[in-house]
Each structure stands twice: as structure tokens, then as C-alpha cells.
């Protein structure tokens, strides 16, 4: 989990950038509740923005379109949620300095059923893994979490397993 270095007595010592503060993230679960149900307009705008013309996604007659599969993962389900100074969601995962902002390391999406008009989305995010590796530019920390999306009836809509990659900031690596 880091770079082995020889201690003064000749004993191998493992140095790690995963501090106790970062280690506390492992297993942490956060639950977010959308402040309003999904409406037909949000679904139709999402489908149109992606160029989808499937009538199920654009149903204007009944006013109850089904959402495309990626809707549940791509839409901010709480437009009234707080944002930080950069305009990004304030509840996103981050590591403390000397780590910089995350890079997306990959996603695994699982779909169970479509989002429907009137669904009130609950999001459960749980940190499932932390790993440290040495990269070309220095220490990298890989943080993996799972996000489960359910509706107001507790029915599972989808799961997103995402890995974020954090690296030390240039100033902490000595880059100029």
C-alpha cells in the first residue's frame, strides 16, 4: 500500500498517504433524498438532449414518459442541493490536501428498472475500497464507491460503481 522504505534499524517500513482521516471514509454511507419528484419535462428534455426519439421517452399524449436507462445516473436529482465555490455539488467525495481534485477512473452501471414520472429518488452512496499506488507522477489514491438509486417504494432503479483517482497536488510533489 505505498512505498517501502528502509528505516534506521534496517526494518522495512511502509509509508502511506492514506491517513487515518482518509481511512475513515471506507465503509461510510451517505443517504441523499431528492427534494422533488421526477417530472415529465425533465425526462423529455434529457431524452431530447441525447437525440433519442423513442416515443416511450417523449410521450406527450399521456404525459408520463419512461426515462432512458442512463437518466438515473446522469441527472442531478436535487436541483435545490447546495453547490460549492466551483459550482459542483457540495456533497461530492474528495480527499483532504495535499490531494487535488479527482479524476474519473471508471464506472460500472447496472440497470434494474426505468425511472417514471412521480418517482422520488433516494441515493445511497457507500465507499467500498481505498487503494494506493505509485504512478508515473507520484502517489495515487483510488477511491471506489457504490451508489444505489431507489424510488419512493424502495425499488432498486440502478447501481453505479465508480472509481475516483486522486493524486498529490503539484506543489506537494515539488513540481514547478
> What pLDDT score was predicted for residue 131?
96
Alpha-carbon span 46 to 71, nearest angstrom: 7
In the chain, pLDDT over 90 holds for what percent of residues? Answer: 55
> What pLDDT score was predicted for residue 93?
84
Over 90: is that where the pLDDT of 170 sits? no
User: What confidence tier does 11 reach under pLDDT thresholds 50, 70, 90?
Assistant: low
Alpha-carbon span 73 to 157, nearest angstrom: 10
Q: Facing residues of 80 across strands?
A: none
> What pLDDT score was predicted for residue 171?
67
Over 80: is that where the pLDDT of 79 sits? no
The arithmetic mean of pLDDT across residues 137-165, rounded, is: 95
pLDDT in tens, 87-108: 666 677 889 889 988 999 999 9
3-state secondary structure of 122: strand
Question: What mean pLDDT, rounded, does the chain reach?
Answer: 85
CATH fold label, 18-173: Thiol Ester Dehydrase; Chain A (3.10.129)
> What pLDDT score was predicted for residue 33?
87
**Where in the chain are the domains?**
18-173
Over 60: is that where the pLDDT of 1 sits? no
Alpha-carbon span 168 to 7, nearest angstrom: 24
> What pLDDT score was predicted for residue 9?
61
> What pLDDT score was predicted for residue 78?
62
Q: Which of 15-19, 103-107, 120-124 has the least mean pLDDT?
A: 15-19
The arithmetic mean of pLDDT across residues 7-35, rounded, is: 82
Q: Which residue has the higher pLDDT, 170 or 110?
A: 110
CB contact set of 18 (below 8 Å; sequence gap of 6+): 1, 2, 130, 132, 141
Alpha-carbon span 55 to 79, nearest angstrom: 26
State the DSSP string of 10-56: S-EEEE-S--HHHHTTTT-EEEEE-SS---HHHHHHHHHHTT---HH
HSE on the CB side for 173, CA within 13 Å?
A: 15
The arithmetic mean of pLDDT across residues 61-81, rounded, is: 78
Amino acid at each position: 500500500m505505498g512505498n517501502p522504505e528502509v528505516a534506521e534499524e534496517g526494518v522495512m517500513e511502509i509509508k502511506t498517504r492514506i491517513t487515518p482521516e482518509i481511512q475513515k471514509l471506507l465503509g461510510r454511507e451517505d443517504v441523499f433524498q431528492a427534494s422533488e419528484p421526477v417530472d415529465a419535462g425533465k425526462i423529455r428534455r434529457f431524452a431530447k438532449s441525447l437525440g433519442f426519439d423513442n416515443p416511450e421517452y417523449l410521450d406527450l399524449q399521456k404525459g408520463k414518459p419512461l426515462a432512458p436507462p442512463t437518466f438515473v445516473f446522469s441527472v442531478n436529482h436535487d436541483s435545490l442541493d447546495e453547490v460549492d465555490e466551483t459550482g459542483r455539488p457540495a456533497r461530492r467525495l474528495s480527499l483532504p490536501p495535499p490531494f487535488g481534485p479527482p479524476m474519473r477512473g471508471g464506472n460500472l452501471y447496472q440497470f434494474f428498472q426505468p425511472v417514471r414520472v412521480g418517482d422520488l429518488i433516494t441515493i445511497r452512496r457507500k465507499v467500498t475500497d481505498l487503494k494506493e499506488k505509485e504512478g508515473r507522477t507520484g502517489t495515487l489514491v483510488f477511491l471506489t464507491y457504490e451508489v444505489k438509486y431507489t424510488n419512493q417504494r424502495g425499488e432498486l432503479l440502478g447501481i453505479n460503481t465508480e472509481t475516483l483517482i486522486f493524486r498529490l497536488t503539484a506543489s506537494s510533489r515539488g513540481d514547478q
